[in-house]
């Protein structure tokens, strides 16, 4: 008896769609009538979409399916695609290199994000919205500082560092109050769900009843008539 193993079959370009879909694509390539071939391609696209319903929220979902169909056909399926067929050379292109942020950070414990936000604040017009953003950035800086040092830090130090990073070009609103250090250092306690708490209380009550029953004195046995 001859066994048909996947390792002995032809390699698929996109194995996530399965071999049955690949067979449908291979059959569509043999159809000579163009209109019938287009109808077959539409059917294959519907099957591919049903196999990946979690991708339908993406804006380019349909475009991606038609690109995958072209890849599975080795770019040999001549159909009227609603989208331009990708070039085979694009599959061999290496991804663009992700550039790393260059330059030093004056206060590393605040992070580069705080420094970038302060630069954005310098370009904003004065007003209530800018004052609110200033408070948010200051609280972020204090939270980052406490996370880095694990100790108390005064609001005056945070505000002075903020002014230094803004080159004294941002006026801090007077009388500002930041998040308390105790609130930042306080560990978060996970609350039990109500159902879990109720089950725990019921279990404790059952144990309590069992203890009470074991402590009750045993009744004397009544003697029978002689």
Whether 110 and 149 have beta carbons less than 8 Å apart is answered as no
CA-derived radius of gyration, the chain: 35
C-alpha triplet 120, 125, 130: angle, nearest 5°:
70
What number of CA atoms fall less than 13 Å from residue 123's CA on the CB side? Answer: 4
- Which residue is it, tokens 């993406």? 58
- Could you read off the pLDDT of 106-149 as tens digits, one per residue? 888 898 889 999 999 999 999 999 999 999 999 999 999 888 88
End-to-end CA distance of the chain: 87
What are 70's two structure tokens? 């072209």
Quote the pLDDT of residue 12.
84
- Could you read off the pLDDT of 18-33 as tens digits, one per residue? 999 999 999 999 999 9
CA dist list (Å): 174 to 107, 142, 156, 216 = 24, 17, 12, 71
Q: Which of the pair, 118 or 191, is modelled with greater confidence?
A: 118
What is the pTM (predicted TM-score) of this model? 0.45
Domain extents for the chain?
A: 7-89, 108-185
């Amino acid at each position: 008896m001859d066994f048909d193993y996947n390792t002995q079959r032809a390699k698929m370009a996109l194995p996530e769609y399965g071999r049955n879909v690949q067979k449908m694509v291979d059959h569509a390539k043999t159809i000579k009538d163009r209109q019938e071939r287009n109808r077959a391609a539409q059917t294959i696209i519907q099957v591919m979409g049903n196999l990946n319903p979690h991708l339908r929220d993406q804006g380019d979902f349909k475009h991606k399916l038609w690109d995958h169909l072209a890849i599975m056909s080795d770019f040999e399926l001549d159909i009227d695609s609603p989208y331009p067929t990708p070039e085979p050379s694009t599959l061999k292109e290496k991804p663009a290199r992700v550039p790393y942020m260059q330059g030093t950070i004056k206060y590393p414990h605040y992070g580069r994000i705080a420094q970038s936000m302060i630069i954005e604040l310098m370009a904003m017009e004065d007003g209530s919205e800018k004052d609110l953003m200033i408070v948010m950035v200051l609280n972020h800086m204090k939270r980052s500082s406490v996370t880095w040092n694990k100790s108390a830090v005064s609001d005056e130090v945070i505000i002075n560092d903020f002014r230094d990073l803004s080159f004294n070009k941002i006026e801090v609103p007077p009388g500002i109050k930041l998040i308390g250090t105790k609130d930042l250092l306080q560990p978060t306690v996970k609350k039990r769900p109500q159902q879990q708490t109720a089950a725990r209380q019921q279990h404790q009550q059952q144990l309590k009843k069992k203890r009470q029953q074991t402590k009750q004195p045993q009744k004397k046995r009544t003697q029978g008539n002689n």
